[in-house]
Structure 1
Amino acid sequence: MQFNKKMDVLAQTKVSDGMGGWIVSTEAVDTLDVLTAPVKAEIAMKEYGIITTTSLKVFTKGYLLDEYSHLIIDEKKYKTLQLADYGKIRMLLVEEIQS
């Protein structure tokens, strides 16, 4: 397997505004090497109940944070639908967030 793409993991962070409140911002907290594979429409519908064609399977050897908001791969924003941990490798089923 060639992990030839980069995936940015984005999370929301709170920073004090200096007046007793918080400023919430979304920023990249990690970058992982990944391998992506498209999910065929028939398989997505049958196995995952997904109708969209913008789904990917993403494989990584890196570890994800417990809490993150979304992922960026090839300048496209994705949300995680499913995560499977197989020990040395993790597989994420992700769906593109339309802007």
Structure 2
Amino acid sequence: VFAAPWQAQAFALAVKLSEQGHFTWKEWASALADELSAAEKRGEPDDGSHYYNHWVAALERLVTEKGLTELPALEERKDAWAEAFRHTPHGKPVVLRNQD
């Protein structure tokens, strides 16, 4: 069902956060529907290739709206992962250094 491990992880994270009461599944479905609708309006193809990107975008929106993190902290962490990825040799595990 998942094309890459990160997709399964994003799925599991959304399920777990909902189970823990951070948001309802109805709120989750609405956030995902909003992301998919926005993608359609931008003219993105509806071929399923970006589905989990929208899943992550919806998850990011919900965790900031619900106060689980703040947007600047989320963006900083995403940038740190991207930087770590760029500096990791092919075939080696990505290591995210502590930001403190």
TM-score by length of structure 1 reads: 0.24
Of Structure 1 and Structure 2, which has the larger fraction of its residues in strand? 1
Of Structure 1 and Structure 2, which has the larger fraction of its residues in helix? 2
Relative contact order higher in (CA < 8 Å, ≥ 6 apart)? 1
TM-score by length of structure 2 reads: 0.24
